Structure 1
């Protein structure tokens, strides 16, 4: 991020990587989340799956968790770095194919630097900062759809959706007619604070606010967001 921002980032605070790696992006202990793969496999076998199929379900869950946690942690750190750098005015969503239909319709959109990042499990979309010197122009939804093969369009939007788009329908209209995208509850829940990294079991400090909650509380007050990122250990 610092290399991307160039001179604009020279005087900005540095993020503390350990604070982002100490827990899953939703605030839970990473090892605890990963360990859920074993009960997933056991539960599948109890429900009648063969041992091979049950192991495959556990492995699929583990793959989903690892990909999601790594991607979300990276985005979380990137956003904290952008909030801390007052030279960053906004960010744009960068989407690379293959991608789901709900991500495609968000491609190239610009958001306020503290705006939440809509995502789903295994989402690999990224964000690029907008500064005075850096004005990114990633592909938007129409560009992405134009570059897709007919087969990929059918896989992404469904047979009828792909046909409607080929007939001239707006991509966003087609996707939103089926299901609008909301902020995803990671692994079945939304957590705004974390107890990880708050001290020993014998003497714990109050739970730390997660970055999403910090941005919500600070609103448009950039200085307040930075103060809270410092206070909660995400900047140093």
Structure 2
């Protein structure tokens, strides 16, 4: 925080680091949480996993817990410092690769200083304070996509999703469409659709084709682009 804000960082109260390290950000005892790795390995072996596979499950749990708790604790301390500093007006979300699609579409967004930080296990996104003097301009979702390799794009957005965005589809529409995916009977066959962005949570309005289905149905790139427009991925 001192590096980001310079002289402005001394405003307000100073955080007490040991208070943040005494427990996990959600209030649990850190040692008890880490100790769950042993029972998980034992349970896996009882279910028929080999000793090596069972140990790997416990190790994966430890990796997830340590990375998540360390990142969450750092963000928690940063946010407390920002709340205590009246010079800080808001914060922006900073996303660096590798990152999941849900984090990528939040990149560069500005939030009030007391807004909760949306995250998931192993999330390593960070926040940067906004003051009158410090107006950060981190990469947004489209910037991040442009800097990804083809392999990274396919891994994060899927083959069809990456192709749709590369063809000009709105990255937010492509990612949000996957929140309400379903399979329905259309065109005399089972197709993938989404109800996200149709204006109805009760699914009373016609669904939209998923990008995967658009590319499967389209007979040419021109037709695919027309369908991307028709289904709201382009405008």
TM-score by length of 2: 0.75
Aligned-residue CA RMSD in angstroms? 1.0
Q: 2:162 maps to what in 1? A: 162
Matched, 1:12 2:12: yes
Distance in 1, matches of 2:20 and 2:39, equals 26
Matched, 1:85 2:73: no
SS at match of 1:92: strand
Matched, 1:174 2:174: yes
Distance in 1, matches of 2:179 and 2:21, equals 33
Matched, 1:120 2:120: yes
Unaligned segments of structure 1, at least 5 residues: 181-236
Distance in 1, matches of 2:135 and 2:37, equals 42
Query: How many angstroms does 1:32 deviate by?
Result: 0.6
Query: How many angstroms does 1:49 deviate by?
Result: 0.4
Q: Is 2:11–2:87's contact at 8 Å kept on the other side of the alignment?
A: no
Matched, 1:36 2:43: no
The C-alpha deviation readout for 1:118-155, integer Å capped at 9, x for no partner, is 00000000000001111111100000001111111000
What count of residue pairs does the alignment treat as equivalent? 180
Question: Greater relative contact order (Cα 8 A, min sep 6): structure 1 or 2?
Answer: 1
Q: Is 2:34–2:62's contact at 8 Å kept on the other side of the alignment?
A: yes
Distance in 1, matches of 2:68 and 2:153, equals 24
The residue correspondences of 1:134-153 to structure 2 (distance < 5 A) are 134-153=134-153
The C-alpha deviation readout for 1:129-187, integer Å capped at 9, x for no partner, is 0011111111000000011111110000111111111121111111111128xxxxxxx
SS at match of 1:179: helix
TM-score by length of 1: 0.75
Query: How many angstroms does 1:111 deviate by?
Result: 0.5
The residue correspondences of 1:201-212 to structure 2 (distance < 5 A) are none
Return structure 1 stretches of 4+ with deviation > 2 angstroms: none
Q: 2:99 maps to what in 1? A: 99
Unaligned segments of structure 2, at least 5 residues: 181-235
Distance in 2, matches of 1:87 and 1:115, equals 16
